[in-house]
Amino acid sequence: MIEIKNITKRFPNTPVPVLKGIDLKIEDGDFVSLVGKSGSGKSTLLYIISTLDHPTEGEVIYDSQNLKDFEQEEIYQLRNHNIGFVFQFHYLLAELTAIENILLPARKAKEVEKRRGFAMELIRIVGLEGKEHRFPGELSGGEQQRLAIARALVMEPKYLFADEPTGNLDSVNGKIIMDLFKKFNEEKGTTIIYVTHDIDFAAMARRRINLVDGVLE
């Protein structure tokens, strides 16, 4: 379970906090959408929950362990083994093939051979079978985003975070991405939290959290 307590976030030279004392619990196996107007703080909250940013005030707790007590190396280990992140833009390495991109987190953890079989399974699951040796530039935008999802999942993380993962895709490819999230949540028990501005995609979650001006509605 992830618990956040009294999370406040201020940015330099900004008089009004982006987040204002948020309390939230995310249970294991949750499938959660974060919604709100532009500037509501939803992406900032996602980055803080996922450890990619730090709150100005407040606490983030993973499985009863307060991240304030973690050394930086322990944070890196948590990210690499328990957290996957999907950005709106895929951030694939152009010089690496599809399978090499997927295995990047495994390379950091020195588990490439251990994870190679699962990486090939992910290639099949995300619909890229036969394209594992192609470079990102040889794939469509939707295929590149599916590849980025496979990369985020190769370490079989307990938590998957996604920031507008369908924002650059058409409705068909967007639904493919959301169906993949639903599949991993239901079949693997992956806890998924994603930011979206799309009402239909937000409704696919079992739980929807709405932010208004930095507070939970």
Tokens standing for 203?
Answer: 């409704």
Task: Confirm whether pTM is higher than 0.95.
Answer: no
- Within the chain, how many helices (H) and strands (E) appear? 8, 10
Domain ranges (residues) in the chain: 2-216
Q: Which of 211, 66, 76 is nearest to 155 (CA)?
A: 76
Q: Which residue has the tokens 């239909």?
A: 200
What's the CATH number for 2-216? 3.40.50.300
Q: Going by C-beta distance under 8 Å and a sequence separation of 6 or more, which residues neighbour residue 14? A: none
How many residues in total does the chain contain? 217
Q: Could you read off the pLDDT tens digit of each residue along the chain, which spans 217 residues?
A: 999 999 999 998 888 899 999 999 999 999 999 999 988 999 999 999 999 999 999 999 999 999 999 998 999 889 888 999 998 888 999 999 999 999 999 998 899 999 999 999 999 989 999 999 999 999 999 999 999 999 999 999 999 999 998 888 888 888 888 998 998 999 989 999 999 999 999 999 999 999 999 999 8
